[in-house]
């Protein structure tokens, strides 16, 4: 495990997240947010581990800007900005919820507090289920609900979801943390009127390679190679592809690759009762005495 690369990626991701937290995004389009945040990651010497997510209000996750997306942030929107930096494929995954309407401060605070309490108990041997219990307890004590079917995850080189989950509620049959892995912990919180679950929405604008098996369509296979060379197995956005391809052609070729099961499209995730969602997230590497939280602000 390349601890140095994880730490370097984490420092960059945390700097960009704090810039996101301090800035007023009202009146900006999601396209402008994604482009600015991604360029900040690249300027600092990392690559994007996935397209910046700008999931608004009841959208919990997986919304990124379409090419020239004109969706604009309003002053009562609750925006989850989830960003990732990678160095040599080693990932830092972190998120902040920005909101300029004081009535949602408690929701944002619940996500931050649940994350802080989870981080304070991390060390080698701690059970993921106990982390979930702490997150759930913190959120419920503050009068909110955790999203039960979203979770944190283990990370690996060029792999954002590496097979293990860190739940946001207490759950049975989970694993214990080891010192040879990196993990992301990401509490998602909704209101008491929320169902506390997400469902898949219709929009799909984040993609990832599933297979490099050729499709027998020459142009689609060229795009397949382009994706592999530029993003490996990490998620990507249509607007990244349109830097090289015309948008119409890019959409058509992506459709072919999805049909051939060479590329997977991720649907947006929506709170099942249409209630607002807040999120906070850190990446960490456990050790015997605690954890190196790679994305903590320096």
- Per-residue pLDDT tens for 197-208? 999 999 999 999
**What does the pLDDT read at residue 297?**
85
Q: Rounded distance, CA 148 to CA 145, Å?
A: 9
What is the percent of the chain where pLDDT is above 70? 100
Residue 229 pLDDT more than 80? yes
Q: What is the mean pLDDT of the chain?
A: 97
Name the class of domain 3-200+275-293.
alpha beta
What is the percent of the chain where pLDDT is above 90? 97
- Per-residue pLDDT tens for 70-90? 999 999 999 999 999 999 999
pTM value surpassing 0.85:
yes
Mean pLDDT of 138-147: 98
Query: What residues does each domain of the chain span?
Result: 3-200+275-293, 206-268
Mean pLDDT of 234-244: 97
Pick the CATH number of 206-268 from 1.10.1740.10, 1.10.3720.10, 1.10.10.10, 3.40.50.1000: 1.10.10.10
User: Catalytic residues, which ones?
Assistant: 82, 93, 153, 161, 186, 281
Mean pLDDT of 27-34: 98
């Amino acid at each position: 495990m390349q601890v140095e690369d994880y730490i370097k990626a984490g420092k960059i991701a945390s700097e960009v997240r704090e810039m996101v937290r301090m800035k007023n995004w009202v009146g900006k389009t999601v396209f402008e947010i994604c482009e600015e945040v991604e360029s900040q990651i690249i300027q600092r010497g990392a690559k994007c581990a996935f397209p910046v997510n700008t999931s608004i209000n009841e959208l919990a996750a997986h919304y990124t800007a379409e090419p020239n997306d004109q969706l604009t942030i309003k002053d009562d929107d609750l925006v989850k900005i989830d960003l990732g930096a990678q160095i040599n494929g080693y990932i830092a995954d972190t998120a902040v919820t920005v909101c300029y309407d004081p009535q949602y401060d408690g929701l944002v605070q619940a996500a931050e507090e649940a994350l802080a309490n989870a981080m304070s108990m991390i060390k080698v041997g701690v059970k993921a289920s106990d982390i979930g219990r702490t997150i759930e307890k913190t959120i419920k004590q503050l009068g909110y609900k955790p999203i039960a079917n979203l979770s944190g995850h283990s990370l690996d080189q060029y792999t954002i979801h590496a097979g293990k989950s860190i739940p946001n509620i207490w759950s049975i049959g989970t694993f214990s943390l080891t010192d040879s892995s990196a993990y992301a912990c990401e509490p998602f919180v909704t209101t008491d009127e929320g169902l506390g679950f997400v469902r898949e929405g219709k929009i799909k604008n984040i993609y990832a390679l599933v297979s490099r098996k050729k499709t027998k369509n020459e142009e689609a296979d060229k795009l397949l190679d382009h994706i592999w060379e530029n993003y490996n197995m990490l998620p990507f956005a249509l607007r990244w592809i349109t830097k090289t391809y015309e948008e119409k052609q890019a959409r058509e070729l992506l459709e072919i690759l999805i049909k051939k099961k060479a590329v997977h499209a991720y649907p947006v995730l929506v709170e099942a009762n249409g209630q607002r969602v807040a999120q906070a997230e850190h990446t960490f590497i456990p050790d015997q005495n605690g954890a190196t939280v790679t994305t903590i602000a320096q």
